[in-house]
Structure 1
Amino acid sequence: MFFITNRAFVEGNASAEMRKVAFELNNNEAGQSVYFCWRDDAKKAYVELGSDNFMKAMRKAATRQVLFYLHDSAQFPEEQVFPTAEKLQALFDEQDKNLVDVVPVIWPCDNGQSPMRDFHEDQIAAEASGVAFARALEKFLVWRESVKGGEAPCLKRLNVLAHSMGNRVLRQTLSCWANYHRKGQVPLLFRNVFMLAADVFNESLEPTRDGRYICHSARNVVVYHAADDRILGAGSVGHLGANSASRRLGHTGPEHQAMTPQNVYTVDCDDVNNKYDRPNGHTYFLADEKGEPGKVFLHMYDAVKKGRIQGHDERRGLIVDLNFRSC
């Protein structure tokens, strides 16, 4: 499995092609170096490919699209991130074997003992990771347009699935990309951005907020939210050391739908989130207890496959009916 990370390695931050690496899990500093890697899924061993080898290997892969997976806070590579990515890959493969490569984007979560302190530290690490991953996006843009050696530009479509605090990483990455690399703008790079249980303020996608770059970067931005998501409830409106508070996008959906761009679609998952993740109702984009793909996953799959959002009102980027209440 391909993956990208700014997490520290035991071997140090001096990047080298084809070196064997291991995560330094006690170091949750958000590094400014970004590493393009391969995981041997059977051995759970990692090799740093380097960006050129990584891009070449992805170009040669039989899959038609790429899905970058930005994980939640308090997630370690082997304990949570890779198992979730493998489940996602298996679900997509069941629908269409050559549709997507799921590529985890791993940022440095804390491994301390205090949940509140971990949450606060992870917020800092998530935002600090934006600089490194902005550099990765610049490399992907060059890759997409490259015609070196007589090759045609790569036509693989890119998608993003950001879960919970992974949306904070996404927001900051695109803000850094715009401000440090692209003179205040970002190109249309992604086909779909799926914001699952987003742990960002619910005004984040409005034109004056940094989240606006998410909307600028994608054809479709789909916000999945649930009012009974226990993780995004009242306990996480504010955090240790916060000087402001607001409800979360993944808890309520956009605060002012009319103030979001036309390419933002909202899906109220309140009736199904606990079916796929009981009792927290927070990680509801995978399968049910029997391993059958959930309705949220199938909705994402349909968008990846077709490039259009099932069930939306053409006059406004708003989901009107997905028959979720039948679950």
Structure 2
Amino acid sequence: MLFITNRFPRQSIRTRIDRKFDFDLNNNAPSNSVFFCERTDSEKYQEVGSIAFLERLKDSSYRQLLIYIHGFSNLPEDVFDAALELQALCDAQKKKEVLVVPIIWPCDNDLGIVQDYWDDQKSADQSAFSFARVLEKFIAWRNSEKYNPQSDPCLKRMNILAHSMGNRVLRETLAVWNKYDLADGVPLIFRNIFLVAADIVNESLHIGERGELICHASRNVVVYFASDDLALRASKASNLKNRVASRRLGHTGPEDMDLTPKNVYAVDCDDVNNIYDYPKGHSYFRSGETKGNAGLVFEHIFSALLSGRVFPEDEFRRTTIIRLP
């Protein structure tokens, strides 16, 4: 599985193609460097370099890419477990349709959710500078006549699934990219962005707020939320301890849909989240009641991947509730 990371390796930070890459799990600082790598087996990784990485994605037999940005308190193998489950579910729905590509940012490896939370939040913010560099590298590669001549352009559809605090990584990445590298706002480069159990304030997507750039970067932005998500309750408790009072996007959906751009959609998952992920009700976007069998939330995500539309039967509809049959 191909992946991108800004976690420090135990080896040098200097890129060397095909070298062994080992995560330094005791170093929670985000690296300014980014590494384009491949997982060849459990806890076995090697660096492939940005050009070879992008060429392999372009040459892949899959029609679409799904970039997966994980949440807090996830170590690399935890991320791969989730990404491999996502990949298996995608393949079961339709072969060679969606290739999952995880982005791994540095979470703390201490025990306990709340004590890790604030360190991970800082790491998420600082990771924005690294991943903005990834977007710059992609744009330069995509616009290169050498790598993408007019006779052979890259036609992959690109999508993002951000989970939990991965939404903060995404929001800050686009904000940093826009501030330091772009002149006229972020380009429309994604077909769908799925914000699942988003650990950012619920006004984030409103026009004029910091997360509005997410809406500019994608054709569709789909928010999946559940009011009884226990992991986000821990998030809220930690923010209150640090004198930040706010409701989370993953608890309520957007604060006011009328204040969001028209390409934002909200999906209430309150009826299924704790059934699919008991007792936390936080990772409800993969399997359903039985691991390996797609849940209704995943099926909703995959339907949007296939069609490029969230509610193809009603172009004006922007909200729905996922219910068990």
TM-score (norm 2): 0.94
Distance 1:39 1:19 in 2: 12
Contact 2:289 2:295 in 1 (8 A): no
Report what 1:113 is aligned to.
Answer: 111
Report what 2:65 is aligned to.
Answer: 66
Report what 1:92 is aligned to.
Answer: 90
Distance 1:312 1:296 in 2: 18
Instruction: Name the SS for the 2:207 alignment partner.
Output: coil
Q: Does 2:301 match 1:303? A: no
Q: Does 2:47 match 1:48? A: yes
Report what 2:164 is aligned to.
Answer: 164
Instruction: Name the SS for the 2:198 alignment partner.
Output: coil
Unaligned runs of 5+ in 1: none
> Are the structure 2 counterparts of residues 36 and 289 from structure 1 closer, same or farther at C-alpha, using a change threshold of 3 Å?
same
Choose the corresponding residue for 2:100, options 94, 99, 102.
Answer: 102
Q: CA deviation at 1:164?
A: 0.3
Report what 2:144 is aligned to.
Answer: 146
Q: CA deviation at 1:234?
A: 6.8
Runs of 4 or more, structure 1, over 4 Å off, are none
Distance 1:206 1:173 in 2: 17
CA RMSD in angstroms, aligned pairs only: 1.7
Contact 2:91 2:97 in 1 (8 A): yes
Report what 1:133 is aligned to.
Answer: 131
Q: CA deviation at 1:241?
A: 6.3
User: Could you tell me which amino acid in structure 1 is paired with residue 301 of structure 2?
Assistant: M
Q: CA deviation at 1:302?
A: 0.7
Distance 1:180 1:153 in 2: 27
Q: CA deviation at 1:19?
A: 1.3
Q: CA deviation at 1:145?
A: 3.3
User: Could you tell me which amino acid in structure 2 is paired with residue 139 of structure 1?
Assistant: K
Q: CA deviation at 1:157?
A: 0.7
> Are the structure 2 counterparts of residues 235 and 220 from structure 1 closer, same or farther at C-alpha, using a change threshold of 3 Å?
closer
Choose the corresponding residue for 1:81, options 67, 79, 97.
Answer: 79
TM-score (norm 1): 0.94
> Are the structure 2 counterparts of residues 312 and 175 from structure 1 closer, same or farther at C-alpha, using a change threshold of 3 Å?
farther
> Are the structure 2 counterparts of residues 275 and 105 from structure 1 closer, same or farther at C-alpha, using a change threshold of 3 Å?
same
Q: CA deviation at 1:313?
A: 4.8
Instruction: Name the SS for the 1:102 alignment partner.
Output: strand
Contact 2:267 2:319 in 1 (8 A): yes
Contact 1:237 1:245 in 2 (8 A): no
Contact 2:114 2:238 in 1 (8 A): no
State percent identity of aligned pairs. Answer: 50
Contact 2:161 2:194 in 1 (8 A): yes
Q: How many residues align?
A: 322
> Are the structure 2 counterparts of residues 94 and 8 from structure 1 closer, same or farther at C-alpha, using a change threshold of 3 Å?
same
Report what 1:285 is aligned to.
Answer: 285
Output one character per residue of 1:35-91: Cα deviation in whole Å (capped at 9) or x when no partner: 1111103x541111110110111111101111110001000011x100100000000
| Greater mean deviation of Cα atoms: 133-142 or 211-220 | 133-142
Output one character per residue of 1:187-234: Cα deviation in whole Å (capped at 9) or x when no partner: 001000000000000000012211011000000000000011111127
Contact 2:114 2:234 in 1 (8 A): no
Q: CA deviation at 1:243?
A: 4.0
Distance 1:234 1:47 in 2: 35
